Chains A and B, each alone.
Chain A
Amino acid sequence: MTESVESLVNRDYKWGFVTDIEADQIPAGLDEDVVRLISAKKGEPPFLLEWRLKAYRGWLKMTEPHWANIKYSPIDYQGMVYYAAPRTKAPLGSLDDVDPKIRETYDKLGIPLTEQKILSGVAVDAVFDSVSVGTTYRRQLGEMGIIFCSFSEAVREYPDLIQRYLGSVVPASDNFFAALNSAVFSDGSFVYVPKGVRCPMDLSTYFRINAQNTGQFERTLIVADEGSYVSYLEGCTAPKRDENQLHAAVVELVAMAGATIKYSTVQNWYAGDEDGKGGIYNFVTKRGKCAGAGAKISWTQVETGSAITWKYPSVILQGDNSIGEFYSVAVTNACQQADTGTKMIHIGRNTKSTVVSKGISAGRGQNSYRGQVKVMPRADGARNYTQCDSMLIGNRCGAHTFPYIDVQNRTAAVEHEASTSKIGEDQIFYLKQRGLNTENAISMIVNGFCKEVFRELPMEFAVEAQKLLGISLEGSVG
């Protein structure tokens, strides 16, 4: 078994190729001029530049947070390039205009960018190093009044919406990484679903970090107006590189009365090698606001990549009867570290939240669940159910839980359950006895362990997530 374990641990990162295209980069380092330059390059209106500068000035006064249960070498913020865009920037009339090399990259990733190849009903807004290169299915969505475009395009086309909602859920001063993102964010996705419209397909964005030494600071803003519905998928992959790359994204969701936003993420960034060299530092701020009565926001995440994951998709349950959900699978293998969880802030009456977190630690991985459930004094009848389970594979890994429960209302009911246990040896034995090899047995057990979360993913994503989980865990048993 050990032999196969090693071969699997040493398996190459399948997506570790570098696309050699000329990138339009600015020199490394960050100051006000860089912020201005980014804004100018993107032709942004004055309000956005002001907003960026304010965020930058705020960021200067902040210090990098170190409360999370993760260890990493210091990040050199002045050694990074804050803007990199593919140079070929002719207006893109159709998908054929997309740089063939970029297309090739996506093909290797298996992203079906060409419309014929697209999995039925998935519109893709592909982000390639900060600038959005192609958007599919736009016309069809446009007819329904749904806006789905790159962030920079939205800034040009719909400045009112951007001005109104940008920073309304994650203010620029929210935290160190959000402030940095607010100052230098390059691109991202914007979605607006008008009143009463049910988005007919899952919207999808693939992120990919390509150029060396570039931080990726994308920003996603999704606004679902009253009574609308949208499901959004996000997938990420980065090439293999030795230096750690910083990824500090911000995602803001606004759900008006009766609206539902479902946000699914499969994160498969390069995790570094088995000695912890290289890999992505993923410091992400994701937050949704149920602004009106009966709104619902559901986060589902499968985190298998990144050297460091620092991510707490949260929901502010402001409207009465609103619902927040968080389903998470986080896998840490080799030297990966994850500190992830959620915050559910109950403000409105009869608000409900469900948290299901599955942490899997293998190799020397350290996996922490950090969550907060806060019930404010006026949140009569608030309900929360939290379940966080950890599975340990091997004896050099660790699993930790840090749940904070703050309740200020007597009619609230908050339940929290957590368990940590070893992968069942008798289960492995049983499956082997039925003819499965160890890797497949583990994969099957782990998939069963995560079933509750996978169930929440759209089908194509669930299939991909299961495969990823298998790949990231295979051979982790000693």
Chain B
Amino acid sequence: MIEHYLREYEVAAADGGATAPGWFRSLQADAIELFRASGFPGPKDEEWRFTPIAPLVRATFRPAGSATPVGLTDLEPFLFGRLDWPRLVLVDGRFSPELSQLPSIAGLAIANLASVVKSGDGDLASDLAEASGRTVTPFASLNAALGMDGTVLRLASDSVMEEPVHLVHVTTPGSDGTVTHPRLLVVIGERARAQVIESYVGLGSEGCYWTNVVCDVRLSRGAWVEHTRIQRESESAYHTGVTEIRQEADSHYRSFSFAIGGAIARHDLRSRLGGSGAEALLYGLYFGRGDQLVDNHTTIFHDQPDCRSWEVYKGILTDRAHGVFNGKIIVQPIAQKTDAKQTNRALLLSDTAKIDTKPQLEIFADDVKCTHGATVGNLDPLARFYLTSRGIPDRVAGELLTYAFAAEVLNEISAEPVRTVLDRLIHGRLASDRLEAHDAR
């Protein structure tokens, strides 16, 4: 149904076209042309072969209307108990000044995209233009064409942020049938250090809405970033996201991608190691139950010599959930001394859950060390037997082992409050899965 979105674009262009500056409108016009040409991806596209997105493509989502009022109390459960952390909140795709807390921190400039577009930030035009040229999926084009708001975060060279910045995206109950296209741009200066938490939250448990995000992260020479992405949409919602990371020399980027929500949730993470000595650590943990489809695509481009990448993704699938993982490592001819390691593991806990995994190495340089490993299976029967022999009930033993499987990645989150909350969330999830299984019996 691409016509629907082409019409949406026409309407939006006629409506808001007057207020947006020319350069922004021309970016949108370019993006909609890209989308018009590509359409939605189908099963014939290699990148979408295992990801049946027909329900999402068939539906026609309208732009989110005026937001249902949301108070801080509604938001509190999702703030890791740290209301003091700087945060920028988008409610149904629109900036909420009331819920946001943007203290002035030396070197940090953070604002919502719409206001930056209006006020005219010198570099924004070129930054966004460059980014939209690199966007890869039709969903990213659609985001660039229809996106209205988002976050622009810049951290000046040599600045160090002590606390993480939390970028919260909330969808309110009653947002059925609407779509938001948040656009994030994070630019970290030379030798600066930042922690960014990106949250997607559905306040209604049943809402069938769509979040379509594009996030760009740039690390200048020697920058250090820890980026945690937490996707907790409603389990009837759709979530599509593209994260593009570009790293200069000697920068360090560490990502943790957590996905538990969404009827269809797809995240494309693309990391480009564009300067020697750059390092990317990518961790991922995803859960699927019911009929959820959870898809993680990662691509690491080793464009320069002496870079290192390390990737661990784990998934836990039960009921009829369907997991998809695709991890690409591309080593260019000049990227000698590349050290890349990728691991992905999936646990299938039910007879009807399934996983399609495709680790992929494309290597054009010879002096490299690249490995990948993939495993799919159930819990280790020996470990389970050991626990039951110690008097632990089998169900609890299963839960413990599943938790241990997840905890290995979870422990990589360095922000302690986040780790604690997710830890509790996982325990709750495992317990509820167990109770459901028990009820079914």
**Interface set of A (CB-CB < 8 Å, partner B):** 67, 375, 377, 390, 392-422
Residues of chain B within 8 A (CB-CB) of A400 are 360-363
Task: Identify 11 residue pairs between A and B in the complex whose beta-carbon atoms are under 8 Å apart, listed by A's number.
Answer: A377-B351, A392-B365, A395-B336, A395-B365, A398-B364, A406-B355, A414-B374, A415-B375, A416-B372, A417-B372, A420-B371
Name the CB-closest residue of A to B375: A415
Q: Given A405-B356, A410-B348, 8 other A-B contacts at CB below 8 A?
A: A398-B364, A399-B363, A411-B378, A413-B375, A414-B376, A416-B372, A418-B359, A422-B366
For chain B, which range describes its interface: under 10, 10 to 19, 20 to 34, or 35 or more residues? 35 or more
Contacts of A422 in B (CB 8 A): 366-368
* CB-based A-B contact count at 8 angstroms: 116
Contact code string B327-356 (vs A, CB < 8 Å = 1, else 0): 000000100100000000010111111111
Instruction: Determine the chain A residues whose CB is within 8 A of the CB of B346 once the complex forms.
Output: 407
Residues of A within 8 A of B351 (CB): 377, 409-410
Identify the closest chain A residue to B361 (Cβ): A401
| Chain B residue nearest in CB terms to A402 | B360
B366 touches A392 (CB 8 A): yes
Q: Tell whether, in the assembled complex, residue B374 and residue A415 are in contact, meaning their CB atoms are under 8 Å apart.
A: yes
B369 interface contact, C-beta 8 A: yes
A405-B357 in contact (CB<8A): yes
Interface residues of B in 406-428 (CB under 8 A from A): none
Q: Which B residues lie within 8 Å of A404 (CB)?
A: 356-358
> Which chain B residue has the least Cβ–Cβ distance from A410?
B348
- Decide if A399 touches B373 in the complex (CB within 8 Å): no
Q: A414-B376, A417-B371 are in contact. Are A67 and B366 (CB under 8 A)?
A: no
Interface flags, B377-419, vs A, CB<8A=1, else 0? 1100000000000000000000000000000000000000000
User: How far is it, in angstroms, between the C-alpha of A442 and the C-alpha of B79 when the chains are bound?
Assistant: 59
B440 nearest CB across to chain A (Å): 16
Known: A400-B362, A413-B378. A395 touches B333 (CB 8 A): yes
Check: B46 CB closer than 8 A to any chain A CB: yes
Bound CA span A157–B325, Å: 51
Can you list the 10 inter-chain pairs with the closest CB atoms, starting with the nearest? A392-B366, A410-B348, A413-B377, A416-B374, A408-B354, A414-B376, A419-B371, A420-B370, A407-B376, A398-B364
In the assembled complex, how far is the CB of residue A354 from the closest CB belonging to chain B, in whole angstroms?
15
B434 vs chain A, min Cβ distance (A) = 16
> Which residues of chain B come closer than 8 Å to A407, judged between CB atoms?
346, 348, 354-357, 376
**Identity of the chain A residue whose Cβ is nearest the Cβ of B348 in the assembled complex:** A410
Determine the chain B residues whose CB is within 8 A of the CB of A402 once the complex forms: 358, 360
Closest to A478 in B: B366
With A395-B336, A405-B355 already in contact, the answer to whether A420 and B363 are too (CB < 8 A) is: yes
* Contact residues in B for A419 (Cβ distance below 8 Å): 369-371
**B330 to A, closest residue via Cβ:** A400
B residues in contact with A397, CB < 8 Å: 364, 366
Contacts of B350 in A (CB 8 A): 410
The docked-state distance in angstroms from the alpha carbon of A414 to that of B357 is: 11
Task: Give the chain A neighbours of B352 by CB distance below 8 A.
Answer: 377
A403 to B365 Cα, complex, angstroms: 20
Nearest-Cβ distance from residue A156 to partner chain B, whole angstroms = 44
| B16 → chain A closest CB, angstroms | 42
A contact residues around B362 at 8 Å (CB): 398, 400
If A392-B368, A419-B371, A420-B371 touch, whether A410 touches B378 (CB-CB below 8 Å) is yes
Instruction: Provide the main secondary structure of the chain B interface.
Output: strand
Q: Which residues of A contact B353 (CB under 8 A)?
A: 410
Question: Please, how many angstroms separate the alpha-carbon atoms of A67 and B50 in the complex?
Answer: 16
Alpha-carbon distance A412/B377, docked complex (angstroms) = 5
User: Quick check: B359 and A401 within 8 Å, CB to CB?
Assistant: yes
Complex contacts, B46 vs chain A, CB 8 Å: 67
B360 nearest CB neighbor, chain A only = A402
Q: How far apart are the CA atoms of A414 and B376 in the complex, in Å? A: 5
Q: Which of A398, A412, A417 contacts B363 (CB 8 A)?
A: A398
Residues of chain B contacted by A408 (CB below 8 angstroms): 354
* Minimum Cβ distance to chain A for residue B67 (Å): 41
State in angstroms the CA–CA spacing of A411 and B26 once bound together.
53
The 8 Å CB contact of A394, one of B366, B368, B370, is B366
Give chain B nearest CB distance to A194 CB in angstroms: 39
Given A420-B361, A420-B371: A396 and B333 interface contact (C-beta under 8 Å): yes
CA distance A371 to B336 in the complex (A): 27
Q: In chain B, residues 190-241, which have Cβ atoms closer than 8 Å to a Cβ of chain A?
A: none
Q: Are A405 and B367 in contact (CB under 8 A)?
A: no
B residues less than 8 Å from A401 (CB atoms):
359-361, 372
Interface string of B316-334 (1 = CB under 8 A from A): 0000000000000000010
Which of B353, B366, B373: most chain A CB closer than 10 A? Answer: B366
A67-B377 Cα distance, complex, nearest whole Å: 29
In the assembled complex, the Cα of A402 lies from the Cα of B374 at a distance in Å of 12
Q: Does the CB pair A416–B375 fall under 8 Å? A: yes
Q: Are A410 and B360 in contact (CB under 8 A)?
A: no
For B372, list chain A residues within 8 Å (CB).
401, 416-418
- In chain B, what residue has the closest Cβ to A69? B362
Q: Mark B230-267, 1 if CB is under 8 A from A, else 0.
A: 00000000000000000000000000000000000000
Q: How far apart are B44's CB and chain A's nearest CB, in angstroms?
A: 10
CA distance A375 to B351 in the complex (A): 12
Q: A413-B378, A415-B374 are in contact. Are A393 and B356 (CB under 8 A)?
A: no
In the bound complex, residues from chain B placing their C-beta under 8 Å from that of A421 are: 368-370
**Nearest chain-A residue to B50 (Cβ)?**
A406
Residues of A within 8 A of B364 (CB): 397-398
User: A368 CA to B365 CA in the complex, in Å?
Assistant: 14
Is B374 a contact of A395 with CB atoms below 8 Å?
no
A351 nearest CB across to chain B (Å) = 15
Chain A residues with CB under 8 A of B376: 375, 405, 407, 412-414
CA gap between A396 and B372 in the complex, in Å: 22
B367 touches A395 (CB 8 A): yes
Which listed residue, A67, A410, A411, A416, touches B373 by the CB 8 Å rule? A416
- Given the complex, which residues of B lie within 8 Å of A403, measured CB to CB? 358-360, 374
The smallest beta-carbon distance between B131 and chain A, in angstroms, is 28
Give the CA-CA distance A377 to B371 in the complex, in Å. Answer: 29
Taking the closest CB of chain A, its distance from the CB of B287, in whole angstroms, is: 15
CB-defined contacts of A393 to chain B, threshold 8 Å? 366
What residues of chain B lie closer than 8 Å to A405, measured between beta carbons?
Answer: 355-358, 374, 376
Complex Cα–Cα for A406 and B336 (A): 33
Docked CA distance A393–B367 (Å): 9
**B288-312 contacts to A (CB < 8 Å):** none
Chain B residue numbers with a CB within 8 Å of A399 are 361, 363
CB pair A395 B366 closer than 8 Å = yes
- Give the contacting residue for B356; candidates A390, A406, A420; CB below 8 A: A406
Q: How far is the CA of A418 from the CA of B371 in the complex (A)?
A: 5
Which chain A residues border B349 with CB–CB below 8 Å? 410
Complex contacts, A416 vs chain B, CB 8 Å: 359, 372-375
List, in ascending order, chain A residues with CB within 8 A of B369's CB: 419-421
Min C-beta distance of A378 to chain B, whole Å: 10
Q: Which of A67, A397, A400, A416 has the most CB of B within 10 A?
A: A416
A375 CA to B358 CA in the complex, in Å? Answer: 14
Map CB proximity to A onto B8-23 as digits: 1 under 8 Å, 0 otherwise.
Answer: 0000000000000000
Query: In the complex the two chains form, what is the Cα distance from A400 to B328 in whole Å?
Result: 10
Q: Cβ of B333: which chain A residues have Cβ within 8 Å of it?
A: 395-396
